[in-house]
Chains A and B, each alone.
Chain A
Amino acid sequence: MLRTISALALASSLLVPAAMADEAEAETCLKAKIWDGYSDGWAVRTATSATLDQGAYRIYLVTLYAGNEYKILACADGKAKNVDLVLHDADGNVVVQDDSSDRQPVLTYTPTTTDTYFVAVHATELEGEGTQAGIGMAVTYR
């Protein structure tokens, strides 16, 4: 599996022009973070990736269990300067957001009741006009 993914990542990085978004780079970064998390008891529910323009965002619906600890991670390729994560409740209110200005934001949250939430992944700042970035997002729990 590791070999398969590494081979795919390598193939993708060779095929994608330097100025283009590189989801494979984002996925490799995300996978390393997910793998590291297992040593602290984190497991992964979902990992996915997308290519975003500057200022664009992706929204993911998530069910979070009361009492479980959640860590939501994002990793972007080198074309991104600042990626932001925001967790909204079912009414759209902001529950928690990351306060970093880098391309690998992390959110942690422990709900008191089981409910549906929205995770917003924002490509807040990329390297320049017309740039796209590959961004991976994972929902982990423990």
Chain B
Amino acid sequence: MSQKWTRGMFLSLALASGLVACTGETPTEQPPKQPPAEQPAKAPVPADVDKATLAAQAENIALVPSPAEMQKALDRAGITADLAAKVPDRKLKMDVPNKDQVAVRTGVILADLLLTVKSAEKAKLSSHLAEIKTGMGELGAGSDIAATIDDLDGQIQNDSISRDDLVKELDQLSGAVIPEIEYEAGERSVPLIQAGSWLEGANLVAGAIIESGKYDNATDLLKQPAVVGYFQSYVKTEGQDKAPSEVISQLETTLNTLADVCTHEKLSEEDVQTIHTSTAAVLDLL
């Protein structure tokens, strides 16, 4: 702060000196000047970065909103829907051969866990954590994450962690740990986990909008072309050596549909129905 503020003060002084010099006269018998009121100097933009550079160098790690954040946005939009109550009681098989499917399934369960952490019974939390642990193992996430999940599960079973602290730990797991791991299954793992979580969240939000009949906020709650484009870049199946699984094939179709919907300036009731149906088409295959 001090350095930028000093720079601003220096400019003010220089400007004042310049004005005096330009008059060519020595000011005489002027009333004593009051010191200028201190104005907060506007900090210069550091190393101003242009749009092309921003777009070219941007990393996607923080691009995708979390399911809990979607719930918050729903609340802010005045749609009183408890997404946790709408999470289906599902149990997904994680030890399937196709690693892309494992990643999507892991993301869906992660979303369910994040949304229900405050209200779910201990057994359900443990079951979800076990599924995530298996999924991470199948993706080759290493042993540290497994130990972390075991530690969390132990604390839940012993009642040695409050639900509020569990929320923090799971936010951290979802937003800081899982995206930073290098997976043996490859670089598609993180975006596909995120895609699973986002798809589940978008499906629940679309369902809540339909139930409420409040379509005016649909654009702000569901239109996210950059997120859809990010996922599309990882699920493109064209030109791949092996045939994609049914799930990934449907995911690609769904993302293409969502990308098309995102071209609409304002989402309509029909668009929200399309989002709900097309996201369910992936989730129903899991």
List residues of chain A with CB under 8 Å of any chain B CB: 1, 3-4, 31, 34-35, 38, 43-48, 55, 57-63, 65-68, 82, 84, 86, 88, 91-92, 94, 97-102, 113-114, 116, 118-120, 122, 124, 137-139, 141-142
Please measure, in the bound complex, the distance between the C-alpha atom of A69 and the C-alpha atom of B85, giving whole angstroms.
25
Does B172 lie within 8 Å of A44, measured CB to CB? Answer: yes
B46:A86 contact, CB within 8 angstroms: yes
- Contact call B151/A4, Cβ cutoff below 8 A: yes
Nearest B residue to A120, CB-CB:
B49
Which residue from A61, A97, A100, A142 sits with its C-beta under 8 Å from B62? A61
Q: Residue on B with the closest CB to A123?
A: B46
Partner of B220, one of A46, A113, A137: A113
- B164 nearest in chain A by CB position: A38
Sorted from nearest, which 4 A-B pairs have the closest CB atoms?
Answer: A92-B51, A67-B76, A65-B73, A46-B62
Which among A34, A100, A114 has the greatest number of chain B C-beta atoms within 10 A? A114
Within the complex, which residue of A44, A61, A65, A122 is in contact with B176, where a contact is CB–CB below 8 Å? A44
Q: Which secondary structure dominates chain B's binding surface?
A: helix
| Closest chain B residue to A46, Cβ basis | B62
Whether the pair A45, B220 counts as a contact (CB closer than 8 A) is no
Interface pairs (14), CB distance under 8 Å:
A43-B66, A46-B62, A48-B61, A48-B176, A48-B179, A58-B59, A60-B63, A65-B221, A66-B77, A68-B76, A99-B1, A99-B43, A139-B62, A142-B72
Write out the residue numbers on chain B whose beta carbons fall within 8 Å of the beta carbon of A114: 73, 219-221, 223-224
Hey, which chain B residues are within 8 Å of A43, CB to CB?
Answer: 66, 68-69, 72, 167, 171
Are A119 and B62 within 8 A (Cβ)? Answer: yes
Q: Which residue of A lies closest to B3 (CB)?
A: A101
Give CA–CA (A43, B66) in the complex, Å: 10
Instruction: Decide yes or no: A99 and B72 within 8 Å by CB, A61-B63, A120-B49, A139-B62 being known contacts.
Output: no
Which chain B residues have a beta carbon within 8 Å of chain A's beta carbons? 1-4, 40, 42-43, 45-47, 49-51, 53-54, 57-66, 68-70, 72-73, 76-77, 144, 147-148, 151-152, 164, 167-169, 171-173, 175-176, 179-180, 219-221, 223-227
Q: Across the interface, do B50 and A61 meet the contact criterion of CB distance under 8 Å? A: no
If A38-B167, A47-B176 are given as contacts, then 20 extra A-B residue pairs at C-beta distance below 8 Å, sorted by A number, are: A38-B168, A43-B66, A45-B69, A46-B61, A57-B49, A59-B58, A60-B59, A60-B62, A61-B60, A62-B63, A63-B63, A63-B64, A66-B76, A68-B72, A84-B43, A88-B51, A116-B63, A119-B62, A137-B62, A141-B69
